[in-house]
Structures are given as structure tokens and as C-alpha cells.
């Protein structure tokens, strides 16, 4: 274990500060933050933790506070061992869960199915119902449940809250949520558009209403969450009316390794003509497609390096990415009957001025005018407008902060709110 501390951290054990632990448990990693749910998002979280390479020969745990960092590379047998060890490291740094006034734990849960329309306080029944949804998210929900159970046994005395990636899209109108397939097959198998990244789309869209200084009920907006995964949402008066991800997070925009929309007939054609199994095709579409399938790299910064070096596959991958974004943008402008704001968020959306420029190129006739200096300002950070003052449609960059949104929900429910 290495402690790279610069100075001892002053442990805020005075009980003045209320903190929320936000946990995001994946299949081979756990990410968490301890943060002040009343913060405005401009400060980094008080503690960030990462537990990864679970089950591998060499594990990796890293705890970062404003003053210190500590790492551990011993093997991690399982999720519960990893989380317990991470909490132990926090205690060594003087910021363990018992040193801080942790008032709630918020858990990111990927799939809430038709069951959960918003955040809920976790009890045995909620855990059982999240388990019932495992067939809809076989990779994600089991890891989320594991995280909930481990954290509840380590912190049994604070309320735990589940916040669902799908929750914001629970109210999609039926015309947007239903697929045109056999009705009974759809009903029996719970097939509908659920949508994902809901916490991010909701958080960002609320910020936009504030930036416009307008009542959210009067704002029609499109939010573009462009990270490793990517999705678009059309939001009318604070309510999601369409989104690009579907039953699974495979649908919609081109992503780092996921294909986004394809003709479903491709799957059957591949099965028949090349003998690929459904697992092979699933892996290909989820892990070896998108930017990676087209160019060999899934990370946008690496893609940009290839483009700068004149790599033709990378240039085409970029063009397909932008073309697909414009397809969604255009259809959402029509579905909303006009749009007041278009917002970019997540790693690519927040940082890549070229994607923003190219996605919105030649839309002056639709009232969208980017201000190049604002868009390309290397110093700019935080929520900001990048359209011209005269642009009828305002364009924003708003850093997402799903952890802060989850922490706020968790505090609210822990305090007896409705979520």
C-alpha cells in the first residue's frame, strides 16, 4: 500500500458537514465518491474511490482526498473485500465512514424496468424487485445489487437509496416508448424503450432551465450525453418525450464500442451467413463496434490523433458519428415542434469543440448559430452558452454530475422526501 500524502488531512469529524456516499458498482469495478449533497458541483468531491481489477492477479484500489492519495495493488478476491478494504484505507487517512457524518448512501442502479419511476429508499422488497429485473440488464443489475448488499452490511445504520438510470424516461409517451412488434410478445417480455443516462439528462436539463432563467415547464430542449456511452434526449417542459437508447443501452448514437442503431436484420443475416452465435453477435455489437469497430480505437482523444494523422478509417468513423447525431437532432427538433436549447455534456460533449461545431453546422436556417470563439475557448469551463447572442436556439455546454444528482436524491429521501 502506498500513501502519497502531502500533508495530513484535517478530518471533519465535527459533525457539521453532512456527506453522502455515492456508489457505482460495475461487474469488475466499483467507483464511489463521498460528497456534500448541498454543493453546487464546482468543487471536486471530498473523496473519490476506485476499486478495479477485481478477481485479477493484481488489483487496484485508489482513494483520493483533496490532500492525499493512497493506493493498494494487492489482489482483490471479490466486490465485498474490495469495498471493505477501500473503507479501511479511508479510515487510515482519517476519513473513514465512521469519521465523517455520512447521512445516506446513494446507489446508481442501471435498470429500473417498468417498476421504478424514480429514486427509492432501499429495503428487502426493493432489492427483490431489482433482482427481478436482472433479465433486462444481465451485466449491470447483478453488480448493482452486489454493491447495495455489501454497502448495507458495512453501513447498516444509514438509509440507502437506489437511483435508476432509466427513471427519468419512465414517463415517455407510449408512441415513443413502444416498439412496432407483436404486442403480446412485447408485453410478455417487457419489451419497450426504457432509455438510460436518465440522471445525467435530467440534471443537465435542469441546469439549462436555470441558465435560460426560465420556468422548466416552458422549455423544449435536446440534451446530448456524449461519453463512452452516448445518448440523446428530447425534453419538453422538464419531461422526457424521447430518447435514443432503448430496451438496452446498445441503441441510438454511435458510441466508443457500441454500434448504436443498426438494421435488426443484420443480426439474422450474420447468424445465417457467417454462423456467428447470438453471444458472438452480442459481443461484436457491444464491445467491438462503434468507433472501435470503425477505426480501431474507442477513445475519442485517440480517434482525434488518428484523424490529425490523416487516417481515413478514423475520419469516416468521425463522419458516421456526426451523421448519426444529426439524424437524432433533426428528428427531435421535429418531435418537439421547435427547440429552445441544445446542450452537450459528458467527456466528448464537454471537451470536443469540433464535434459541437460539426453537429450543428449549417443549421442557421433552423435558428442555431454557434459562436466559434465561445465554442473553442480553451479556458472555458463550467456551464456556458456557446451560441451567438442572436441565436434563436441557445446552445450550451453543461458538465454532467451524476454523482451529485444521486447524492441530492439520496439526501432528499433520507430526509423523508418523495424523491
- Residue 160 lies near ligand ADP (rule: CB under 6 A): no
User: Dihedral sign, CA of 341, 346, 348, 350?
Assistant: positive
The CB-nearest residue to ligand ADP is 347
CB atoms under 10 Å from CB of 203, counted, come to: 24
Q: Are 133 and 111 in contact (CB under 8 A)?
A: yes
Per-residue interface string for the shown chain with ligand ADP, residues 99-138, x marking contact by CB under 6 A: ----------------------------------------
Q: Are 413 and 119 in contact (CB under 8 A)?
A: yes
Which residue out of 3, 40, 99, 165 is catalytically annotated?
Answer: 165
Q: State how far Cα 260 lies from the chain centre.
A: 16
- Residue 351 lies near ligand ADP (rule: CB under 6 A): yes
Instruction: Identify which of residues 107 and 352 has a Cβ nearer to ligand ADP in the complex.
Output: 352
Q: How far apart, in whole angstroms, are the C-alpha atoms of residue 166 and residue 137?
A: 11
- Residue 229 lies near ligand ADP (rule: CB under 6 A): yes
Instruction: Identify which of residues 89 and 348 has a Cβ nearer to ligand ADP in the complex.
Output: 348
| 214-218 long-range contacts, CB within 8 A, separation 24+ | 214/340
One residue of 346, 386, 404, 411 binding ligand ADP per CB under 6 A:
346
Instruction: Identify which of residues 28 and 98 has a Cβ nearer to ligand ADP in the complex.
Output: 28
Catalytic (active site) residue 123: no
* 120 is known to lie in a ligand binding site: no
| Mutual angle of helices 141-154 and 124-132, in 10-degree steps | 160
* 228 is known to lie in a ligand binding site: yes
Please return the burial class of 37, using the count of CB atoms within 10 Å of its CB with bins 0-12, 13-18 and 19+. buried
Nearest to 123 by CA among 97, 156, 91: 156
Please return the burial class of 397, using the count of CB atoms within 10 Å of its CB with bins 0-12, 13-18 and 19+. buried
Question: Please, what is the minimum distance in Å from the beta carbon of residue 62 to ligand ADP?
Answer: 16
Contacts (CB under 6 A) with ligand ADP, residues 291-330? 299-301
Contact segment (CB under 6 A) with ligand ADP among 22-30, 187-195, 341-349, 369-377 equals 341-349
- Residue 227 lies near ligand ADP (rule: CB under 6 A): yes
Q: Which residues are catalytic?
A: 165
As annotated, the binding site includes 24, 31, 108, 225-229, 299-301, 347-351, 402
As annotated, the binding site for substrate includes 108
Residue ranges in contact with ligand ADP by CB under 6 A: 227-229, 256, 299-301, 346-348, 351-352
Amino acid at each position: 500500500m502506498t500513501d502519497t500524502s502531502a500533508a495530513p488531512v484535517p478530518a471533519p469529524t465535527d459533525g457539521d458537514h453532512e456527506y453522502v456516499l455515492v456508489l457505482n458498482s460495475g461487474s469488475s469495478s466499483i467507483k464511489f465518491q463521498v460528497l456534500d449533497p448541498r454543493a453546487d458541483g464546482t468543487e471536486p468531491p471530498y473523496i473519490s474511490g476506485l476499486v478495479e481489477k477485481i478477481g485479477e492477479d493484481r488489483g487496484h484500489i485508489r482513494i483520493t482526498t483533496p490532500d492525499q492519495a493512497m493506493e493498494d495493488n494487492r489482489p482483490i478476491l471479490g466486490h465485498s473485500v474490495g469495498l471493505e478494504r477501500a473503507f479501511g484505507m479511508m479510515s487510515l487517512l482519517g476519513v473513514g465512514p465512521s469519521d465523517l457524518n455520512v447521512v445516506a448512501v446513494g446507489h446508481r442502479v442501471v435498470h429500473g424496468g417498468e417498476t421504478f419511476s424514480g429514486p427509492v429508499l432501499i429495503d428487502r422488497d426493493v432489492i427483490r424487485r431489482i433482482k427481478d429485473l436482472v433479465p433486462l440488464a444481465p451485466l449491470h443489475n447483478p453488480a448493482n445489487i452486489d454493491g447495495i448488499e455489501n454497502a448495507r452490511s458495512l453501513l447498516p445504520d444509514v438509509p440507502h437509496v437506489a437511483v435508476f438510470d432509466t427513471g427519468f424516461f419512465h414517463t415517455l409517451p407510449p408512441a415513443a416508448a413502444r416498439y412496432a412488434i407483436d404486442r403480446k410478445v412485447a408485453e410478455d417480455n417487457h419489451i419497450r424503450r426504457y432509455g438510460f443516462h436518465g440522471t445525467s439528462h435530467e440534471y443537465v436539463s435542469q441546469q439549462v432551465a436555470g441558465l435560460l432563467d426560465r420556468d422548466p415547464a416552458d422549455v423544449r430542449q435536446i440534451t446530448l450525453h456524449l461519453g463512452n456511452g452516448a445518448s440523446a434526449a428530447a425534453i419538453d417542459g422538464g419531461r422526457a418525450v424521447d430518447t435514443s437508447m432503448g430496451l438496452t443501452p446498445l441503441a441510438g448514437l454511435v458510441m466508443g464500442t457500441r454500434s448504436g442503431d443498426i438494421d435488426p436484420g443484420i443480426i439474422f443475416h450474420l447468424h445465417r451467413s457467417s454462423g456467428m452465435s447470438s453471444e458472438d453477435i452480442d459481443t461484436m455489437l457491444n464491445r467491438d463496434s462503434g468507433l472501435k469497430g470503425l477505426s480501431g480505437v474507442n477513445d475519442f482523444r485517440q480517434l482525434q490523433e488518428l484523424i490529425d494523422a490523416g487516417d481515413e478509417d478514423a475520419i469516416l468513423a468521425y463522419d458516421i458519428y456526426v451523421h448519426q447525431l444529426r439524424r437524432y437532432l433533426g428528428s427531435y427538433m421535429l418531435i418537439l415542434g421547435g427547440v429552445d436549447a441544445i446542450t452537450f455534456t459528458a467527456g466528448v460533449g464537454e471537451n470536443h469543440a469540433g464535434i459541437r461545431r460539426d453537429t450543428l453546422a449549417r443549421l442557421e436556417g433552423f435558428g442555431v448559430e454557434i459562436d466559434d470563439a465561445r465554442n473553442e475557448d480553451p479556458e472555458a469551463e463550467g456551464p456556458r452558452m456557446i451560441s451567438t447572442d442572436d441565436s434563436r436556439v441557445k446552445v450550451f455546454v453543461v458538465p454532467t454530475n451524476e454523482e451529485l444528482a444521486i447524492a441530492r436524491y439520496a439526501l432528499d429521501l433520507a430526509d423523508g422526501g418523495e424523491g
